[in-house]
Each structure stands twice: as structure tokens, then as C-alpha cells.
Amino acid sequence: MLICGICVASISKQAIKDLIKRNYGFEITDDGAAAMARMIEKKAMTVSKFAVKNAKKEKRKEVTKKDLLAYAQKVGFDDA
């Protein structure tokens, strides 16, 4: 998948279906799994953009866990 000139690996529908089944005991339709995969990919792009900016601000050429945790802290996500 190509988003804004960046190649992004697609999240498989089967991975989403397996996750829902394993954790909640429910089936999810193919179109439901595809929609969830698109939402996760969009959120991953948002997190990635923030992490890259954070790494550049600290004059690093790679994104680290610290950058991802900075995003989690910014949005109030405590489970990271």
C-alpha cells in the first residue's frame, strides 16, 4: 500500500479476524476486518509522523521506543 509516497505494509484481514476471535470469541466479517485494518493503518501513520518529528527534534536518524512512548503520553494512552 502506498500512502503519501511511503510504502506501508498492509495489515491482513485474517490477522484482525484471528485477534477478534481469540480475544473476544466473536467472528468478524471480511469487510469489518478490512475496515478495522484501514483504521489501524491510518493511526499507525499518525503515530509514525509524530515519532519521526520527535526523533528529528532530538537530532536522531531513527525512531525509537522513546518516540512512540512520547506520542502515547501526548494523547494520554497509558497502555504503551
In a domain, 47, yes or no: yes
Domain with 52, as residue range(s), is 7-75
Instruction: List, for residues 65-80, the tens digit of each pLDDT value.
Output: 999 999 999 988 876 5
Element (H, E) at 62: none
In a domain, 80, yes or no: no
In a domain, 1, yes or no: no
In a domain, 2, yes or no: no
Distance CA 65, CA 4 (A): 23
Tell me: pLDDT of 49 over 90: yes
What is the number of structural domains in the chain?
Answer: 1
Tell me: pLDDT of 29 over 60: yes
Element (H, E) at 71: helix 65-75
In a domain, 14, yes or no: yes
CATH of the domain at 55: 1.10.20.10
Q: Tell me which DSSP letter residue 78 carries.
A: T
